[in-house]
A and B are shown apart, each in its own frame.
Chain A
């Protein structure tokens, strides 16, 4: 997204006219991957603003943003990975793993919360590297590879926690040295203009900005699109497709680390069974945000809008005092609509005008 508007060209030479394409600004806007999700987000916002009286209150909006940020932090790397043509089904439980590692390492080995935070970063990014490495070495579909690591991590989370702590949740580390400063970084609350905003929102926005920069303005971003769009062609012109995919999985690991530390320092203790099913929520946020499930197309901003729609729907149903059972229905309907829109966009983009 630059400000460089395409310069107006002088009339083409005779014979070149047939190749000129007419693009109206509207058509251009329609071509943005985020478009569908933005329309959807506005619709959902207006809808809940009308049916739920408390939805527009500052405190409610802060709650919505917090819910959106916890999903959005993971939806960003998951969407980059999806643009690169792959899935990560282990993303949900990896968040829990990250929190468990941090908590248990600090408790068992040292008395400093930050040591656990650091170890957790290394191990979680290592999980991501393992996923990417397995994928590129075996050339199996990422669905299978990460389904495997998803189940393995689920088992490890429960098994290790019970083995070490004897119960399904970790011991509290709230009295540990460094807990307060880590809490500041990962789970503090800032009051701005009467709204109590969680620091995760800041993490989320920064990650969206960095991911957008990477996607649109770096060589690596170009490689992500190419790896997902046509890996063979990308390889033929010298793009390191393998390295690109491994790094994308490590990015998911990094996201899981941020989300996991928030989980730990918000609640002090971690339930080892958490996180199962969240991987689908991240994927859904990315898809609603315009990422093609087959790769090669999408945006990080779209994933953020997708996460926002999730947050609004999730909390809006509570504010409207409905039975939260309806939540899943809304999510499913939005996913279908978004996918239909994406399929249409892709057809349009790929259709040949010969």
Chain B
């Protein structure tokens, strides 16, 4: 039984314009034994929009991703895919329903050529019987064309994918998800291990995926990156939702403030302020002896 989502969670943008979200979490909770990993989290993913999930380590971001990717099942609340209440039993099931997840570390097989990586698990073949073979020309050309569409211009799709930079590897994984018909793209900390320039490259492809009409869930702990591309922001703190905003409802400063936990940050700056060395520690100053 699908309940009409009439209840409005506090902080949730009142932007119901009649569209059905691709994926919607309503009041979703997840417990590991007696540990509350996630409680009362709601978010919406619309086609052509980027929903950012922000939070510090341990805020419940990875639990959230695992629920959407089908690795874990939620204990409370509703997960709706295109308006339909669903429970995803496995990553394969999520894939079949158009939800592709790109993890930051295990996206590719480093020693395999780019084109073999691109089609891994869904290789196109031609010919019959014992002569059934990989359609190599098609695979090479498609890989080249799809990457070009995302803005990656590879001269040689035969190079091992390990020779690409971390950002480019993420991008190949994104291009792959787009090509294989994903409707929702879940990105787990795509910029976490990257430098400033590479992060920019990845964000460009995230935006390209959005422009291709996908709904994107971008998990990150970097509010700067999130604000650059995001349409909605969901803040998590200690497994609970600390806020949910549309882009026009929040400024970057505010987002950073909320994400860092305002008062906590002030407290920290107090603690870190230089203080005279206590006597019981010997009272040495830096220039003693």
Main SS class of interface, A: loop
Q: Which of A4-12, A190-198, A260-268 lines the interface with chain B?
A: A4-12
Name A230's closest neighbour in chain B (CB-CB).
Answer: B109
Q: Are B134 and A238 in contact (CB under 8 A)?
A: no
Q: Are A229 and B195 in contact (CB under 8 A)?
A: no
Q: Quick one: which of B119, B137, B154, B162 contacts A19, CB cutoff 8 A? A: B154
State how many angstroms separate the Cβ of B143 from the closest Cβ of chain A.
12
A31 partner residues in chain B, CB cutoff 8 A: 160
Say if the beta carbon of B9 comes within 8 Å of chain A. Answer: no
Q: Which of B17-25, B26-34, B47-55, B110-118 lines the interface with chain A?
A: B110-118
Q: Are B111 and A296 in contact (CB under 8 A)?
A: yes
Q: Are A9 and B134 in contact (CB under 8 A)?
A: no
Q: Are B165 and A226 in contact (CB under 8 A)?
A: no
* Chain B: number of interface residues, binned into ranges: 35 or more
Q: Are A349 and B109 in contact (CB under 8 A)?
A: no
State how many angstroms separate the Cβ of B14 from the closest Cβ of chain A.
38
**Bound CA–CA A31/B159 (angstroms):** 9
State how many angstroms separate the Cβ of B185 from the closest Cβ of chain A.
15
Name B124's closest neighbour in chain A (CB-CB).
Answer: A219
State how many angstroms separate the Cβ of A296 from the closest Cβ of chain B.
5
State how many angstroms separate the Cβ of A240 from the closest Cβ of chain B.
9
Name A221's closest neighbour in chain B (CB-CB).
Answer: B134
A213 partner residues in chain B, CB cutoff 8 A: 133
Q: Are B195 and A21 in contact (CB under 8 A)?
A: no
State how many angstroms separate the Cβ of A55 from the closest Cβ of chain B.
37
Say if the beta carbon of B121 comes within 8 Å of chain A. Answer: yes
Chain A 217-244 residues near chain B, CB threshold 8 A: 217-219, 221-222, 225-226, 229-230, 232-234, 236-239
Say if the beta carbon of A350 comes within 8 Å of chain B. Answer: yes
Q: Are A350 and B110 in contact (CB under 8 A)?
A: yes
Q: Are A13 and B153 in contact (CB under 8 A)?
A: yes
- By a beta-carbon cutoff of 8 Å, the part of chain A in contact with chain B is 2, 4, 6, 9, 12-13, 16, 19-21, 23, 31, 213, 217-219, 221-222, 225-226, 229-230, 232-234, 236-239, 292, 296-297, 346, 349-354
**Contacts A/B (CB < 8 Å), 7 sampled:** A2-B136, A6-B156, A230-B108, A233-B108, A352-B163, A352-B166, A353-B164
If A222-B116, A233-B108, A353-B163 are given as contacts, then 11 extra A-B residue pairs at C-beta distance below 8 Å, sorted by A number, are A12-B153, A21-B156, A217-B134, A218-B134, A226-B112, A229-B109, A229-B110, A232-B106, A234-B121, A351-B162, A351-B163
